[in-house]
Chain A
Amino acid sequence: MTGYSHRDRCAITGIGATEFSKDSGRSELTLATEAARAALADAGLTVADVDGVVSCDHDLVSYSGIAESLGIPDLTYWGQTGPGGSGPCAMVGQAVAAILSGQATTVLVYRALNGRSGRRFGQGTPDPAARVGGQGGYEEFFAPYGLVTPGQFFALLAQRHMATYGTRHEALAHIAVACREAANRNPAAQMHDRVLTLEECAIARPISLPLRLFDFCLETDGACAVIVTAAERAADSPHPAVLVRAVTQSTGPRVQPGVMYPMLQRPDVTVTPSATAARTLFSRAGLGPSDVDVAQFYDCFTITVLLQLEDFGFCAKGEGGPFAESGALRRGGSLPSNTAGGNMSEGYVHGMNHVLEGVRQLRGTSTSQVEGAEVSLVTSAPPPGTSALLLVKG
C-alpha cells in the first residue's frame, strides 16, 4: 500500500431504518429523522455527539434539514455524493475521509425517499412538449429514440451479454429468486410474505426485453442511516465492532458524461466500473474475492448483479450466468448475497439498506446469517461511476 491508508481506522457503530412501505404517509425528512435517531440509539450515542453529515445527491433531505430536524448543536462537516445509487458506499467513504482528516468525529450517513408514493424513478422524465437534451447531459442522442428509462438501458446491457456469452434469462431469474428467498426470511422486507419461483420469473410480464417484471427492483418509501466513527471509539458501542477495511469509488477509463445512457459508448458495455473499483478495493484491503464471506450487490436490476459478479472477480467475464445458475448466491451457496433481500425484495432505499445488512452480517444479526462471516462486501450502483465497501470484524 502506497500513500495514505484508511484500513481498519474507522467503524460503523450504529445502523437504523424505518419500515419499508408503498406509502409512508410522511415526509422524507420525517423518515430520515426516524432512521437517524434509530442509528444513534443503536450506536449508544446521542444527537449531541453528531458533528458530521453525509447525504446522497438525489436526497430531498438536505444536511441543514436533517441537522435542524434532529437538533444537532453544530455540524463541522457536511458532504454529499452520488449519483443516486452509486452513492451509499462512497458516502461512508466520505465519512471516513472527514474523520481521518480531523474534520468530524461522529458522522451520520443517511438516505431517505418516498420512492413509491412520491417522486418515482424510471418513469421517463422528459416533457413531451419540450426539446430534450443539451446542458452537457447528451440526452438528445438517446431520448428521441424512446430510450428514456434505466430499465431500458440495462435491458440493452443484458441483451448484449446474452448475445456475446450465451447467458440465459434463467440466470437472471436465479438472482431474483435468491433475493426473494432472503426477503422471505426477513420480516422487515417488503416482499417478506411473497414467494417467487424461477417459473414465475420466466413468464413474468415483459417490460423491456430481455428484462421482465421480476428483473426490476421495488419502489419503496423508507429511510436508512448509519453512524461512522473512528475505530477506537467503536469500543463504546454496545455491538461488536464492524470496521471499514477499505472503501473506494471508481469511474474506470472513458467513463462517459451524463448519468447513464452515454455509457453505451464505452468500448464493451458488459464491463462496468465495478471492474476497476474491485481492483482498488481489494488492493486497499489486502484481500481478494476468495476472502469475501457474504456480499450485498447493488441490484436495481438482476443484470446489474450478474455484471458485478464478473467484474468483482467472483467468476470470469461471461460466466456470470452459469455462476448464478449454480445457486451460489442463495443460502448455503459459495457467495451468499443480498441476504436481507436487496433492492429487489427487501426495499429500494437506493442501496443504503445494503450497507446496513453488510454490518448485520458481521454482528451476527442477519435473518439469513452466514455462520462465521468475517469479511462482508457491499457495493453501490454502476454506472456511470460506482463505489464499494469491504467491512471486517473488529
Chain B
Amino acid sequence: MTSVAFTDIVAHPLLPAEHDRDTAGFFAAARRGELVLRFCTACDQVLHLPRQACFACGGNESEWRPVPGRGHLYAWTVVTHQVHPAFAVPYTVVVVDVDGQPDGTRLVGRLAGEPVLTAGQPMRVRFDRAEDGTVVPNWEPGD
C-alpha cells in the first residue's frame, strides 16, 4: 500500500467495536487503509463473518489477507423512516458481494440520500475515517 485515500468524516454516527477477538483485525487493517478478510491458513477457506476455526477443514489457524476493494451490488434498501437518532434519512444501505470470493462473502455500506442503483453494478471500497481515527470501510458505486 502506497497512498491510501481516506474520506474524513466529521462524525460517524455509530462506531464499531474494534477489540473483539474474532473481528478486530478487520478494523485494524481499515485504519491502515487495507481491506482484509479472514482465511483458513490450511485450506484457504474464507471465514466470513470472521472467526478463527475453519468449518471446511476443521483447522484452527487463520489469518487476515488483503483483498481488492472491489465488489458488485447484491442488494440495497432506501431507508426513509428514521428509527435511530444517529442516522438522518433518507439514506441507502448497500450489500456488496466482494469480488473473487465465494457467494455470501458480503460487506455492507451506506450511501447518503437515494442514489440510482442497479443490481450487480460495480462497487468500490472507501475508507471513512472518523475524527478519533476509527476507520470504517464503506462502499460506493465505481469500478
Residues of A within 8 A of B (CB): 122-124, 126, 128, 131-136, 138-149, 152, 155-157, 159-160, 163-164, 205-211, 254, 256-257, 262, 264-269
Contacts and interface: CB of A to CB of B under 8 A. Distances in A.
A140 B85 CA distance: 18
B93 A147 contact: yes
B17 A140 contact: yes
Nearest to B102: A267
B104 to A, nearest CB: 4
Interface in B66-96: 74-81, 83-87, 91, 93, 95
Q: Is the interface of B mostly helix, strand, loop or mixed?
A: loop
A146 B95 contact: no
Nearest to B12: A144
Contact of B77 (A133, A209, A257, A267): A209
B14 A132 contact: yes
Given A132-B17, A143-B14, A163 B75 contact: yes
A131 B80 contact: no
B112 to A, nearest CB: 10
Contact of A144 (B78, B104, B119, B136): B136
A248 B83 CA distance: 35
A156 B76 contact: yes
Interface of B: 12-20, 22-23, 26-27, 48-49, 51, 74-81, 83-87, 91, 93, 95, 102-110, 119, 136, 138
A129 to B, nearest CB: 10
Most B-side CB within 10 Å, residue of A143, A157, A268: A143
Nearest to A133: B17
A207 B75 contact: no
Given A144-B13, A145-B109, 17 more contacts: A126-B14, A128-B84, A128-B86, A131-B15, A133-B16, A133-B20, A133-B23, A144-B136, A146-B93, A152-B77, A156-B75, A156-B95, A160-B75, A207-B81, A256-B49, A257-B49, A264-B95
Contacts of A210: 77
A256 B27 CA distance: 20
B87 to A, nearest CB: 4
Nearest to A146: B87
Given A140-B27, A143-B14, A156-B75, A148 B84 contact: yes
A206 B12 CA distance: 25
B77 A208 contact: yes
B20 A156 contact: no
Nearest to B103: A267
A25 to B, nearest CB: 26
Contact of A141 (B49, B74, B81, B119): B49
B23 A264 contact: no
B78 A134 contact: no
Given A145-B93, A265-B105, A136 B77 contact: no
Given A128-B85, A209-B78, A265 B16 contact: no
Contact of A268 (B16, B48, B84, B103): B103
